[in-house]
Structure 1
Amino acid sequence: MVDRRTLFQGAGVAAAGVALSATATGTAGAAPVPQAVAAAGPSVYRDPAGPRSRVLIVNDTGGDPDGLFSTAHALLCSSTEVRGIVATLHSNGRIPSPADLSATKAKELLKVMGFPKIPVHVGSNTKMTSRTIPIDTPGARAIIAEAKRTDTTLPLYVTVGGNLTEVASAYLLDPTIAGTFTVIWIGGGSYPDGGPEYNLDQDPIAAQVVFNDTSIPIWQVNQDAYRQAVVSDTELQAAMLGCGKVGQYLWNELYTNTIVAYSRYINLGETYVLGDSPLVLLSALNQAYDSTGASGTGTSLFDTVPAPVLGATGSYTENPDGRPIRVYRTIDTRLMFNDFFAKMLFRYGKH
């Protein structure tokens, strides 16, 4: 398996329906007979009860294309309400990408998928320089605004694939938001020692703020867990190329703009790690069957540990007084990828 994070560093949803008639024609006094439900396809399944949670996507969509795949999956989920995308800096790898490019890529994806009304907020183009000085950006302000809403009771997940700059800055700008959302973060080194890691290294100070200086609930998918999100390129090609212009767009971002572009530096082989995809698994697919492992027997398992003290280089120091956080050990890749491929097929494939 090739871990690109290490190597690089040197369908109609609206038409889905289950329609029951309130009354039916019949003999006098007979009980109403419900009309037949919709056939089992090709329209996309939607949760008839509506969303269970809100999601604010924070991602460096201009860098590693796993962010685009994860974002596409999130947009197709009916159990979550995507409130917007915060486009962030991608500062690692051989081709760094500013937050503005991430915003451009996010807007491209939204357009090709048919979700033009989802707002995109630009994050910082620089790392934090102090644990007490925020970087005031539209992205940070979007987190604050969503966290402070009082017109909804849906829980909020801020799903972060990349640096924690916007989350840390949002907290420093308004510390009252600390208990209003859960951060699901792809990042951090292996336990128990920690150390340098791809996403953490993009802004270590921001990660220190979130871990050490706040009470924000954290679900951490560290490198041992996100490296499980591996797919073969052939598997991905087969899944995407039957899904119209959306599948072609995603495949092109991975193959042409990443695998081919990087081939002059490194041979990535025949597999790729879509390491941001657990963000969707844990925010959208975690309800009825406990895929998050909250019961201790779910299909994605975690340990609840006191939040360690995070060092400047990503090291972990045990802290018995730290707030409880989730640290994921296993990821249900079958559920995660099969759900994404099925949603893509039903929405954009030929039937």
Structure 2
Amino acid sequence: MDMIRVEPRCRVIIDNDWAGDPDGLVALAHHALSPANRIVGVTSSLTNPMFGPPGGMAQRGADLAAGLLRVLKRPEVSDVQAGSDAPFTGQARDNAAAHAIVDAAAAGGELSLILVCAGPLTNVADALLLDPAVAHSLTLAWVGGAAANEEEYNYFTDPAAADFVLENQQLAVWQFPAETYRQVVAPVAELDHAFRNSGPAGAWLWELYNSLEVPDFVTFGPLWCLGDSAPLVVTGLDDVTSTFTETGTRPSRRTYTSVDTRLIMADFLAKLRLHQ
């Protein structure tokens, strides 16, 4: 018996520093398994130097994302485009990630287009500089920034890019700041059990998590933050159980203040188990 048919509600471009924290790849798997969103592009950005010398990391991330999409049997979207390994300079740069975003925005379609960025905004800034019309064609759902004055990772990996993008008054932005995305946590035991018992995709993610190279001083607790999955409430799911504040201006500027962690996690784990 087939499950109730879920109709697509949006198109998505997914941008992340895939070679950084592996929660981005969990979010990518969730998007790829969600019939409510239609992936039209995947791009890879630079990583913070805390993950090692940045040279080649955008391409390494692209290779990781492409490998996961192939395991998920999504070869049509596994051509992941890498951006620059250097932060945004304010000067036009010819890179594949920026072109992929521009092309997806220009392609049009009946469904709204959401650019999900859960890393530094480098590729988004490069795309807007390459073609300012991108701002009129999509909504940016960004995991990053913080209401409190703190050194939030995604912002401070490339603050020049973040400032350039967020200052664009033509761009609709739905922001998931640190205070919100850090609410999305899962017990390590639940992830371990799910990955071990969920077919090839689960095995791929289990191997990824169990082969992480971290400094000796890094220790892990019983919870793992999956903050990059927060935008699923506006792409593969629905934000009916989330809360946000919104300015009265157009284009839309939202700041999500809470997301339904159990909705996100239950949906992801069920889809992962069903994808055998």
Matched, 1:93 2:50: yes
Q: Contact 1:128–1:134 (CA<8 Å) still a contact in 2?
A: no
- Gapped regions of structure 1 (runs ≥ 5): 1-37, 292-297, 307-320
> Is 2:81 the counterpart of 1:121?
yes
Cα offsets for 1:169-199 (capped at 9, x unmatched):
111111122111000000002x2x5342100
Checking the alignment, whether the CA contact within 8 Å between 1:63 and 1:96 is kept in structure 2 is: no
| 1:166 Cα deviation from its structure 2 partner | 1.1
Instruction: Say whether the 8 Å CA contact 1:159–1:183 is kept in structure 2.
Output: yes
Task: Name the residue aligned to 1:199.
Answer: 154
Residue 254 of structure 1, aligned match among 197, 200, 209: 209
Q: CA offset at residue 329 of structure 1?
A: 0.7
Give the 3-state SS of the residue equivalent to 1:262 in structure 2.
coil
Matched, 1:347 2:275: yes
Structure holding more helix per residue: 2
1:156 to 110, 113, 116: 113
1:284 maps to 2:239: no
Query: Residues 53 and 82 of structure 1: is their aligned pair in 2 closer, same or farther, counting only changes over 3 Å?
Result: same
* Separation in structure 1 between the aligned mates of residue 251 and residue 184 of structure 2, nearest angstrom: 28
Q: Which moved more, 1:235-244 or 1:90-99?
A: 90-99
CA distance in 1, matches of 2:267, 2:53: 31
Question: How far apart, in 2, do the equivalents of 1:173 and 1:256 lie?
Answer: 37
Q: Larger Rg: 1 or 2?
A: 1
List runs of 5+ in structure 2 lacking aligned partners.
none
**In structure 1, which of residues 143, 147, 150 is the aligned counterpart of residue 105 of structure 2?**
147
RMSD (Å), alpha carbons: 1.9
Partner AA of 1:334 in structure 2? R
- What does the per-residue CA deviation read over 1:231-282, in whole Å, with 9 as the maximum and x for residues that have no partner? 111011111111122101112212321xxx3261211222110110112222
Give the structure 2 partner of residue 33 of structure 1: none
How far is the alpha carbon of 1:144 from its aligned partner? 0.8
CA shift, 1:337, in A, is 0.6
> Quick one: structure 1 residues 304 and 168, their matched pair in 2 at CA, closer, same or farther if it must change by over 3 Å?
same
Equivalence for 2:18: 61
Q: Work out the CA distance in 1 between the residues paired with 2:180 and 2:265.
A: 15
Structure 2 counterpart of 1:176: 133
Q: Secondary structure at the match of 1:284?
A: coil
Asked if the contact 2:116/2:142 (under 8 Å) is kept, the reply is yes
3-state SS, counterpart of residue 167 of structure 1: helix
Q: How many pairs does the alignment contain? A: 273
Identical-residue share of aligned pairs (%): 34
Cα drift, residue 46 of structure 1: 4.1
Moved over 4 A (4+): 321-324
1:144/1:255 CA distance change after superposition, 3 Å: same
Looking at structure 1, the residues matched to 65 and 42 of structure 2 have their Cα atoms a distance apart, in angstroms, of: 8
CA deviations 1:191-221 (Å, max 9, x no partner) are: 2x53421001111111011111342100100
1:117 positional shift: 2.1
Instruction: Pick the aligned partner of 2:264 from 333, 336, 340.
Output: 336
Q: Which residue of 1 aligns with 2:195?
A: 240
- 1:272 is aligned to 224
Amino acid at match of 2:191: L
Check 1:96–1:67 CA distance in 2 against 1; reply closer, same or farther (3 A cut): farther
